[in-house]
């Protein structure tokens, strides 16, 4: 199962874990009636996470090919 990977991703990105719903608990009513919009805080966290991840990936590949870059 990959659920622990998704949970770790949510935690790293600052996304509310209430969004992780097991298939046993998932209902059509829950999907249709729950507000699944990201909060302002989550949106900011996601934006920061995407920026940080991109910078870290670039730095990693720069180090692989021997280009000096900032330490992260």
Report whether pLDDT(38) > 90.
Answer: yes
What does the pLDDT look like over 6-32, one tens digit per residue? 999 999 999 999 999 999 999 999 999
What is residue 17's DSSP assignment? G
**How is the chain split into domains, by residue range?**
3-64
| Cα distance between residue 46 and residue 14, in whole Å | 7
Band (pLDDT 50/70/90 cuts) for residue 2 is confident
Tell me how far apart the 2 most distant CA atoms of the chain are, in Å: 53
Q: Is the pTM of this model over 0.85?
A: no
Give the Å distances, CA to CA, from 66 to 19, 41, 44, 45: 40, 37, 33, 31
């Amino acid at each position: 199962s990959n659920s622990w990977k998704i949970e770790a991703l949510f935690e790293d990105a600052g996304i509310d874990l209430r969004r992780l719903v097991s298939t046993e608990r998932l209902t059509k009513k829950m999907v249709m009636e729950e507000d699944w919009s990201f909060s302002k805080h989550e949106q900011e966290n996601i934006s920061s996470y995407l920026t940080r991840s991109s910078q870290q990936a670039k730095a990693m590949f720069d180090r692989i090919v021997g280009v000096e870059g900032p330490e992260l």
